[in-house]
């Protein structure tokens, strides 16, 4: 009930319940066992299995220019997440640099510049160039020459119904050939996240997902 109230897909809830029932045979349990604890453990294991993609996540490699591209919807916190990702890896000993390949949103480059200045991270962008793929390619080339080992490409926010922006995303991917593409999604959009994630995954090879705004009280 708690999962359904939290807007989890009913098919997933049914699958989880069926698997827990198979795992936990209450009738066959010895007397004195804490049944509640056993059920809790089974539910926890099923939730973990549900979220496990079954593949290894991309690991940054030292001594190599790791190119990571961020994609996602408008207003989901991509630029902020890019900066947090860069800063976290800076503290782990990497040399990050950020590229603003968002020519669609007014003030996108200013926001990235402000974030990078505060975090002490080099950045690249343009107020005059209108082709985001050209900006991304030039930025990656420059930071590779300067031996930065984590190059982050921040792209425009886009929705699955915006075909032109999805084509642009594919062009940026072709231009920079990223080692990993991270999809950023707002935790409060609920089950709509599935269709959006599917559309992004079918356009570019998404390798990781970051869910933002999980500290909010909205369901999803």
Q: Which residues contact 200 (CB under 8 A, 6 or more apart)?
A: 71, 72, 160, 183, 206
Nearest Cα neighbor of 69 from 156, 195, 138, 165 is 156
Task: Return the beta strands (E) in 57-207 as ranges.
Answer: 66-72, 96-101, 123-124, 150-155, 180-186
pLDDT tens digits, the chain, 220 residues: what are they?
Answer: 777 877 778 888 898 888 888 887 766 666 667 778 888 888 888 888 888 877 888 899 988 999 999 999 888 899 999 999 999 999 999 999 999 999 888 889 999 999 999 999 999 999 999 999 999 999 999 999 999 999 999 999 888 777 888 899 999 999 999 999 999 998 888 788 888 889 999 999 999 999 898 876 655 4
One-character DSSP codes across 23-59: H--GGGSPTT--HHHHHHHHHHHHHHHHH--SSPPP-
Classify residue 105 by its DSSP letter: S
Beta bridge partners of 124: 99
Say how many residues make up the chain: 220
The model's pTM is 0.85
> Are the C-beta atoms of residues 45 and 37 closer than 8 Å to each other?
no
Please state, in angstroms and rounded to a whole number, the distance separating the CA atoms of residues 146 and 34. Answer: 60
């Amino acid at each position: 009930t708690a999962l359904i109230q939290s807007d989890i897909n009913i098919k997933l809830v049914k699958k989880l319940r069926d698997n827990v029932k198979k795992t936990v045979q209450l009738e066959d349990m010895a007397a004195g066992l804490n049944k509640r604890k056993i059920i809790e453990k089974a539910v926890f294991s099923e939730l973990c299995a549900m979220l496990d993609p079954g593949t290894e996540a991309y690991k940054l490699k030292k001594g190599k220019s790791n190119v990571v591209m961020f994609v996602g919807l408008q207003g989901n916190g991509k630029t902020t997440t890019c900066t947090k990702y860069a800063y976290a890896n800076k503290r782990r000993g990497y040399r990050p640099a950020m590229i603003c390949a968002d020519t669609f949103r007014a003030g996108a480059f200013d926001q990235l510049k402000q974030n990078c200045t505060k975090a002490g991270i080099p950045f690249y962008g343009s107020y005059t160039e209108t082709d985001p793929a050209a900006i991304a390619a030039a930025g990656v080339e420059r930071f590779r020459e300067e031996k930065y080992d984590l190059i982050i490409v921040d792209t425009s926010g886009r929705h699955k119904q915006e075909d032109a922006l999805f084509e642009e995303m594919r062009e940026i991917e072709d231009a920079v050939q990223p080692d990993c593409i991270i999809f950023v999604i707002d935790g409060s959009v609920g089950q709509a996240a599935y269709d959006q994630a599917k559309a992004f995954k079918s356009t570019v090879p998404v390798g990781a997902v970051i869910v933002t705004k999980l500290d909010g009280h909205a369901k999803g």
